[in-house]
A = this chain, B = another copy of it.
C-alpha cells in the first residue's frame, strides 16, 4: 500500500530543483540521470520521510515502510537483480543527503544486501571470490560501525592481527580465504557485542541503515554544525539507495573524487585523486596513497577522457565548480555524486570572477557565489593549515572576533604593553577573566585576547572586533589565578610566557604555538566588491569610536559612521579623572566644573574624526553606561582616588554604594543620565557642534552632525534631552555665524520605544536600532548571563542559534519592523539604520534589507561582509 503522500522517488523521477525533498545528493543524482550520464540506478527516500520519522517518535511508520519495499521491487526490476538472490543479488549503497551538505551526519554504507548466500552468488557471478568476500567483510564492518555504533578499532585490530599472522602489510595482500575468515570473525564480534546475530535479511539491513541515517540527523556533531551554519532542525535529511558499482573488483576498477577547479586556489584545472581496486572511503581513509587524477590519463585514457568530458558538462550545466565522486568497475565509469564544491575564500573569489570572464555567469550571479562570512579569512591572519591539523585543541570558547593568533600568555593589560614594547615578549595573547575599558592599550598590542567570561557582545568581543584582533571569549572552563600568573585548562597549567594559540573564527584554543599567515587581499577582491556595491541598495556604515577605527572602516568601504560611542573616550587615563570628579560632585555647579575639563578632549576627538570622515555622515551617541562603571572597585584604588579627588574614603565609598545597581543593564544609564544631569548632554552637544564648526571653518566641509540619544523609551524623555541639545546647539551655531544643520535622533533599543515609535518619531529625525540591547530586553536575558543557560537551550533545540549573533526575526525583528512602519507613518523621511552587532551578520543584514532600513553599521572588519551580504540581499529580494 502506497501512502497518500509521495515519500520515495526513483532517480529518474527527480531533478536538481528538488533539493528540499530529495536533498542535495539525491537531486543531483536525479539530474545526472536525466542528463543521460552513467549513474547507477536507485531511489531517494525524501526529507519528508525523515521529519515524519521524528514526528512518529523516531519510528518509520507502516506506510513509509511499505513504500520502501515497493521501491526495492522497482529497483530490482530495473537492475534485473534480486535482493538477497543466491545467483544474481542486488547490492546497494545507502547514503545520507540533506538539503545542504552536512558534515557530522552518517555518510555511507556500501554493499548492503550481502549475506552468507548472496556472497556466494556474487563470487560466482564475478568469478572473483576475493572481491566478493572483501565486499562482504567491508559491509559487515561498515554496518557494525555506522549503523550499530560499534567501535571501528575493534575491527581494525582483527584485520591487523590477520595481516601480522600472514606476514603481509596491505589489505590488498589478503586473499579470498582471509577475507572469508575475516567475515566469520567480524560476525562473531558482532554477536558478542550486540547479543544477537548479524542481520542476514537484506530488507532488515536496509531498514536499519535508513533508520541510522535518520538518527544521525540528530547526533551531537550534526546539531553543532547546524547551529553554526543556521540550518533549521526541521529540514531533515533524505536517504539515497543506489545500486552498487564496484571499484574493488580488480585492477581495471577503482574509485576517486575530483573538482573541476582547484578548491584551494580557484585555478581552472581538474583537481582530484583516485585509487585502483578500492571502494568508497579508502581514498580519504589514507590506508593507501591515492594517485593524482592526471595519472588516470595514463592508466585508463578512455575512462579519463570520458570523465573530463562529463566534468566539463557538469560544470557548464551547474555553472559552478563541481565536486564529484566516481567509481570505475571493470573499465566502466560510474558517477556517484556531483555537487557545487566547497572552496576557500580565495578560491571562491577567483572562481566567481573567472566564471564572469568566461561568460558563464553575470556579475550579480558572481556576487551570490561567495559566502559573506568567508571574507573574514581574507581579512585576518590564518593558521598554517598543516600545522593546525597537527595541533591539539585544549578548550573552546566563543568565536568572538575572527582570525588566528599565536603568542605568549600574559595576564594584565599593563604587562602586555610593557613586554611587547620592551621586546621581552614580541607576541602576546592576553588572558583575562573579562576585559574592561582600562585594558584598551594592552588589547591593542596583543595578538589575541582570551577571556573566561562574557559573550559575543562583551567588552572584549566588541573592542576586539573593532580592532580586527582575534578574540575567543567566555571559555568558562579556564580557571585563572592572577596572583600566580597562570591558568588551568583541560588539566594542564599554563604560566606567563607559555605559548598558546587561539582561533577567533572557531573559538578553539591550543596549548602550543601554531604559525600564522598574514591576511592578504587580491585584486579579485576589489573587482568583486565593486560588483557587490553596484548590486546593493542598503548603505554600509561602520561603528567607530576613534579616528583609527574610523579610518579602518573607510578603508574597508564604510560610507559613514553609524555609531560613535562617546563613553569610550571617557576612559582614557587623562580624562577619567575629570569624569570621576563629575560623578562625585554634589551639585550641578560641581558637575559643570568637571565637565568643562572633559570638553576640550571630547571636542578634539570629534574634530579628528570629522577630518577622517570628510563628507561622510557620523552618528554620535551620547553617554550610555551607568556612572558606576567609571569608578574603581578595589579598596586600594578607592583610597588612591579619594586622595586624588581630595575627599574622604568614606565619602567616596558612600558615592560608590549609592550608585550600586541590582541590574545595571536596566539601571541609571543611557538618556536617563541626561534627564538627571542635563549638563552632560549640554557638554557633549558643545563638543559635537564646536568640533563640526571648527572643521567646517578649517576645511570647508559641510558637516551635518547626527546626534543620537540612547535608551529612549518614551517620546517625552527624548524631547526633554533634545530640548537641551537644540538650545545648546542653536546658540553655538548662531554665535559662530555659520549655516549648519544637524539632526537629533534616537536608538531604538527598548521595546517600549519600538511599540510607541509613532510617537517617538514626532521628535526623532532618525532611528538607529540598537539590536544588542533590544535583543536582551525582548528576550529578557542579559548577554552577560545568558551563556550559563543557553547551552541547555541549544541541547534541547529550544533555540537553534545565538540571538545576539543572528537577529531573532520572529520576536526582535517583529519589533524592528513595527517600529520602522510606525516611525515612517509619522515621518516619511525618517532615517533608519541598525548599529548592533547584527549589522555585520549576513542573515541579519538580509532582514534589514527586507524591512526597508537605509543602512547597517558594524565594526570596521565586518564592513566588507556587510557590503556583500547587502548585495546578496538586494539580488535575492529586489525592491519594487
Asked if residues A779 and B750 are in contact (CB atoms below 8 Å), the reply is yes
Does more than half of chain A's interface fall in helix, strand or loop, or is it mixed?
Answer: helix
A726 to B: closest C-beta gap in Å: 14
Per CB-CB distance, the 4 closest pairs between chain A and chain B, nearest first, are A752-B811, A663-B782, A666-B782, A750-B780
| Residue A797 CB within 8 A of the other chain | yes
- B782, A667: Cβ atoms under 8 Å? yes
Can you add 6 more A-B contacts, CB < 8 Å, to A661-B782, A675-B793, A717-B798?
A663-B664, A665-B782, A666-B666, A716-B798, A720-B798, A755-B810
Contact B666 A799 (CB under 8 A): no
Residue on B nearest A718 in the bound complex, by CB? B798
Offer 16 A-B interface pairs, CB within 8 angstroms, sorted by A: A661-B782, A662-B664, A664-B785, A666-B781, A667-B785, A672-B781, A675-B792, A676-B792, A711-B780, A714-B799, A716-B798, A717-B798, A751-B751, A751-B815, A752-B780, A755-B811
Question: Within 8 Å of chain B (Cβ to Cβ): is A96?
Answer: no
Residues of A participating in the B interface, judged by any CB pair closer than 8 Å: 661-668, 672, 675-676, 711, 713-714, 716-717, 720, 749-752, 755-756, 759, 773, 776-782, 784-785, 788-789, 792-793, 796-799, 808, 810-812, 814-815
Chain B hits for A779, CB < 8 A: 713, 750, 752
Distance in Å: Cβ of A547 to nearest Cβ of chain B: 31
Query: In the assembled complex, how far is the CB of residue A339 from the closest CB belonging to chain B, in whole angstroms?
Result: 31
Query: Across the interface, which residues of B come within 8 angstroms of A663, CB to CB?
Result: 663-666, 782, 784-785
Name the contact of A777 in the complex, choosing from B676, B716, B777, B784 (C-beta under 8 A).
Answer: B777
State in angstroms the CA–CA spacing of A838 and B732 once bound together: 47
**Would you call A793 and B751 a contact (CB within 8 A)?**
no
Contact A780 B789 (CB under 8 A): no
Give the shortest distance, in Å, between A508 (CB) and chain B (any CB): 23
Q: Separation in Å of the A397 CB from the closest CB of chain B?
A: 16
Residue of B nearest to A784 (CB): B662
Q: B residues within 8 A CB of A789?
A: 668, 672, 675-676
**Cβ–Cβ contact B785 & A666, under 8 A:** yes
Copies assembled: 2
Most B Cβ at <10 Å: residue of A752, A756, A792, A796: A752
In Å, the complex CA distance between A676 and B785 comes to 14
Q: Which residues of B are found within 8 Å of A668, using beta-carbon distances?
A: 785, 788-789
Q: Report A662 CB to chain B, min CB distance, Å.
A: 4
Partner of A752 from B662, B755, B756, B808 at Cβ < 8 Å: B808
Which residue of chain B has the shortest Cβ distance to A476 in the bound complex? B658
Beta-carbon contact of A675 and B798 below 8 Å: yes
- Which of these, B676, B713, B793, contacts A780 with CB under 8 Å? B713
Determine how close the nearest CB of chain B comes to the CB of A462; give it in whole angstroms: 15
A406→B123 CA distance, assembly (Å): 102
Distance (Å) between the CB of A669 and the closest chain B CB?
9
Q: Is the CB of B750 within 8 A of A796?
A: no
- CA of A797 to CA of B719 in the docked complex: distance in angstroms? 11
Tell which of A675, A714, A751, A789 has the most Cβ of chain B within 10 Å: A751
Contact, CB under 8 Å: B796 / A780? no
Tell me, rounded to whole Å, the shortest Cβ–Cβ distance linking A495 to chain B.
22
Q: How far is the CA of A780 from the CA of B712 in the complex (A)?
A: 9
Are B752 and A716 closer than 8 Å at their CB atoms? no
Residue numbers in B under 8 Å from A797 (CB-CB): 716
Closest B residue to A663 using CB positions = B782
**A749 CB contacts on chain B under 8 angstroms:** 780
The answer to whether B662 touches A662 (Cβ under 8 A) is no
Complex Cα gap A779–B663 (Å):
13
In the complex, A776→B155 CA distance in Å? 60
* B-chain residues with CB within 8 Å of residue A776 when the two chains form the complex: 666
Contact A780 B773 (CB under 8 A): yes
Closest to A814 in B: B755
> Which residues in B have their C-beta under 8 angstroms from that of A713?
778-781, 811
Alpha-carbon distance between A778 and B796 when the two chains are bound, in angstroms: 27
Across-interface contacts of A785 in B (CB, < 8 A): 661-664, 666-668
Cβ contacts under 8 Å, A780 to chain B: 666, 711, 713, 749-752, 773, 777
